[in-house]
Amino acid sequence: MKNNKKVAIIDYGMGNLFSVKLACEKVGFDSLITNDKPEILQADALILPGVGAFGDAMNALKKMDLAETIKEFIKSGKPFLGICLGMQLLMSESEEFGMHKGLDIIKGKVVKFSNKNEKVPQVGWNKIIKAKDWGNGLLKNVLNNEYMYFVHSFYCQPVEKEIILSKTNYAKIDYCSSFQKENIFACQFHPEKSGEKGLIIYENLANLCQKKN
């Protein structure tokens, strides 16, 4: 069942884009894996996925001139979703393999879990807990304490606490597992790997597009 909305999925050579694409298609999106500036800017929604090291990712984005494109898209007000590493790249800096600068779209640091209390990375399912009302955004219709699938060693510490949508507990730390600032959405977990509940998030993304139009 198509929704006639176009979503661009940024291809910067990192991350498994195909699961994201399949999830988008499942909810009716027209999806395009691309790093072409005009195609990205034309899309109704933009997804920045990512798997791998922060430093490598930033280098790739810069090389392909995508940092500016992303910022420009976000300025347009259309919905933007950062997933996992894609969420972390929005931040100011990350301590992965030395200090690296991020896109600095969201103020804050990316720090590593200590492995004193649990194995790192976190690989598996964990509950997302409401930090504030979820309203009509990314997590609409998702239940509080729903399980989502996580794979990460680092987590975001946004300076503005009020953008935090959900928190999750791992290794004795309550960390930010998703946030929203205006049209920027980000989740540390992988909604395309979180079963039917995760697909709701993609549906919500589609609905956000329709709202804007």
Phi, psi of 62 (to 5 degrees): -65, -45
Task: State the minimum distance, in angstroms, from the CB of residue 177 to other proteins.
Answer: 14
**What is the contact surface with other proteins in residues (CB under 8 A)?**
14-16, 18-19, 22-23, 25-26, 51-53, 56, 115, 118-126, 147, 149, 151-152, 170, 190, 192-196, 198-199
The CA-based dihedral angle spanning residues 89, 75, 38, 189, taken in that order and rounded to the nearest 10 degrees? 30
Task: Tell me which residue has tokens 């690296």.
Answer: 100
The residue annotated as part of the active site, out of 24, 96, 152, 190, is 190
Nearer to other proteins, 74 or 148 (CB): 148
The residue annotated as part of the active site, out of 96, 192, 203, 209, is 192
146 is catalytic: no
Task: State the minimum distance, in angstroms, from the CB of residue 187 to other proteins.
Answer: 15
Nearer to other proteins, 44 or 192 (CB): 192
Nearer to other proteins, 168 or 183 (CB): 168
24 is catalytic: no
| CA distances from residue 2 to 6, 24, 208 in whole angstroms, order as listed | 10, 10, 15
| CA distances from residue 4 to 7, 28, 29, 145, 206 in whole angstroms, order as listed | 10, 7, 6, 32, 9
Phi, psi of 188 (to 5 degrees): -75, -25
Task: State the minimum distance, in angstroms, from the CB of residue 56 to other proteins.
Answer: 8
Task: State the minimum distance, in angstroms, from the CB of residue 107 to other proteins.
Answer: 26
Q: For the chain, what percentages of helix, strand and coil (3-state, to nearest 5) are there?
A: 30, 30, 40
Nearer to other proteins, 125 or 140 (CB): 125
Task: State the minimum distance, in angstroms, from the CB of residue 139 to other proteins.
Answer: 17
192 is catalytic: yes
How buried is residue 62: exposed, middle or buried, by Cβ count under 10 Å (0-12/13-18/19+)?
A: middle
Please give the span between the terminal C-alpha atoms of the chain, in angstroms, as a whole number: 19
Specify the 3-state DSSP secondary structure of 36: coil
Nearer to other proteins, 62 or 147 (CB): 147
Provide the annotated active-site residues. Answer: 84, 190, 192
